Amino acid sequence: MAVEIKVGQAVTIGRGSSNSMHLSDMLASRNHCRVEGRQGEFYVIDGGSRNGTFLNGRTVRESRLTPGDQILVGETLITLQTEPPAVDSLIGRNIGGHRILQLLGKGGMGRVYKALQLSLDRIVAIKILSRQYADNTAFIERFKREAMSLAQLNDPNIVAVFDVGESDGFHYFSMEHMTGGSISRKISSGRKLPPERAVRVMIDVARGLMYAEGKGIVHRDIKPENMMLDGQDNVKICDLGIAQSVNETLGRDNQRGVFGSPHYIAPEQARGGAADHRSDIYSLGASFYRIVTGRTIFKGSSARDIILKHIYEEPPPVKQLEPSLPNSLCRVLEKMIRKNPDERCQTAREVVDALEEVERKMRGPRVSHVRIRSKLKSNRATRKRAARLVAAGAAAIILVIVGYLIAEYIW
């Protein structure tokens, strides 16, 4: 969606249908904010929104805008541009033996494109680091680490990496093209997944984490955006850009940053402490919460507020928000998001086992129903046979009596 704004005009943004930019985003307020053009400059003004208006990652009430600024309204990211969006210059180019076909998405580090791998004539996704970071050693190392982390892993529930390299100054890696998009897209605008589907999604992701755990890899940024669907509706984990081996994490000094997404970050990560596979289990639980309730585990006016809530506050009980959810599902979810890592599910295997048991209970005792139907069928057959025997017996009695009478009469 693109909306033009001129000096002397204002664009209103929110969920209300009367807004110039009408959002179907349940985390946005009805009249969330507006952008005004005044005397050759542009300003964003918060409209008393419930969750706050963020400009380049910080909450604002009113602030002047410059081209390229990003406004976060609920879960919707809005970018101010002075000109209509230009055609992507990489479309049609050959990067490391890949013909770039279509932009799939973009993030803080780079862009992901649909591409044709010429050597094998297959469609792939290719992630290309932004050129502005090409001379930034730290960014390039992080980018390579993402590719290397993925390349170590070969599992049905982890997106496969095919190639990594540099071409004409572009750092890239190619990976499996996930045609179904992300789980985040499925639950945008406050939507939810049915409990049965949500449990299956969590089992798929937990299986991927179980494999990564066996390799000593901690993802550190599990969230719905990093849960991708293939053409058969299977879920796979992607984006291991801030994953680290457990040994590397434990061996570092205390100069740690806070890694992870505010809505899904584990308390120990929020404190800047060491993360292990139980941190991924917390983030998976927080994602589970979002998927079945339609809201994030905590809300706040800023990323800092949300992060602090992960450390100090308890979330609303799942059953309170969604009374129809099975008790067994709620118990597993709430164990996954306990503050103390020692009180959570301790391994991804434990999560898989617990959720598979929930899944069995939700399906119900199908086998016993078959047996009951068989038994009823058997009983009906028995009654029919008995009726035939009675009828046959009656016929035999009649024949005997008649025969006797006839014999007596003849005699």
Q: Known catalytic residues?
A: 221
DSSP secondary structure, 74-110, as one string: TTEEEE--SSPPPPPTTTT-EETTEEEEEEEEE-SSE
* Cβ contacts of 65 within 8 Å, gap of 6 or more: 35, 41, 42, 43, 44, 55, 71, 80
Joined tokens for residue 288: 């589970």
Length of the chain: 411
Measure Cα distances from 177 to 95, 96, 128, 158 in Å.
16, 17, 14, 12
- How does DSSP classify residue 323? T
Joined tokens for residue 289: 């919460």
Q: Which ranges constitute the DSSP H helices of 246-365?
A: 246-251, 267-270, 277-293, 303-312, 318-321, 327-336, 348-363
Backbone torsions φ then ψ of 217, nearest 5 degrees: -105, 130
Measure Cα distances from 101 to 185, 193, 225 in Å.
21, 31, 22
Contact status, residue 328 vs residue 358, Cβ threshold 8 Å: yes
Q: Distance between CA atoms of 175 and 80, rounded to whole angstroms? A: 31
3-state class (DSSP) for residue 198: helix
Contact status, residue 16 vs residue 28, Cβ threshold 8 Å: no
Joined tokens for residue 102: 């279509």
